[in-house]
Structure 1
Amino acid sequence: MDTVTTLAPGLARRRPPARAAALLALLLTLTACDPHMYDDVPALSDMRRSEVPGSWRCVDGTTVVLHPDGKADVRFLDGQEWDFDDGWRLSGTGRWDLTDERTGWNGGRHVRLTLTSRTATTARTSPAEPAPLPYTWTFELRRDAEGALELYFFFGDPDSRSAYVLQRTAP
């Protein structure tokens, strides 16, 4: 039952009961946008190229090997941002570089990886869209709690800030 608050003689405002207001607040919290979704993504600008080469892994067998000479080997890497929803995964060879180029998210340094030769494609979903070639990923860089470098990109709707994180494997 609604409660009525009198504002002035002859004027009244209906106010929902406390439970309804609490439910409405909960629904807005669950469905509303993240208030931090448009904040800048922290960017590393003080790192060196020599920190990037190595073997990096993620879920479902994803492996990216970045060689010191700029070559790259990729195995089962998903597309970034909206391309992730297409369901394809790429394997092959290509090139990488550390860039200072500003992207849509932030300044700082980024790893740009371009797959130029495809050796295989797989599908994470069925049906999957055809995988493109060439394809370029732009990885953001951050450090974990121990200071180790992580490569990541956003997948799905970029505003959701869902991160696809690659962690360095032990040599």
Structure 2
Amino acid sequence: MSGWGPLRGLSRGMRLFVLVDVLLVVLLVVVLAVTLPGRGTPDTGGGSTPVATAPTPTADADGAAADPVAFELPSGNIACEMSVEGVVCTIRSFTYATPMVPGCEAETGHVMALDAEGAGFRCEDDGIPQVDADTQLAYGARETVGDYTCASGEDGVTCTDAAGVGFRLARAQWMPLP
């Protein structure tokens, strides 16, 4: 094997060793790029071009927004309303098993809430509510109102309170936190 540029002076075994090392480094970079937070499969099959977030409404002394905020993720599938009382997120389309809500005989699975009582799905007695959100929360961005914070990711939305209690909601799954 003639050539190999800067590896020309090395023995065949040493060149092979360097080549394997380079391949392992490339593989490590790819694995890290796929597994870092905010990476992965987008909530929809659509593109993931970041959209600028709207300016934060008036803030309280801690810098958290005090006015209610409504936003949707760039996928258009999840929208949330936040206030100092809590968070309500609506998902238009999901593939997870329909959750049971005690005492509810109406549809469930489209509305998840977080408030002082904790996180859980809501009974949809009046149908699936529509969130009027003129603002997109770009993937990787966060919004905070009072003690509640929601983070937008290509893998859905994550909303928590100051104690870390909350939920992660995406088309394929949801999970309570912590």
Specify which structure has the higher proportion of strand. Answer: 1
Relative contact order: is structure 1 or structure 2 higher (C-alpha 8 Å, sep ≥ 6)? 2
What is the TM-score normalised by the length of structure 2?
A: 0.28
**TM-score, reference length from structure 1:** 0.29
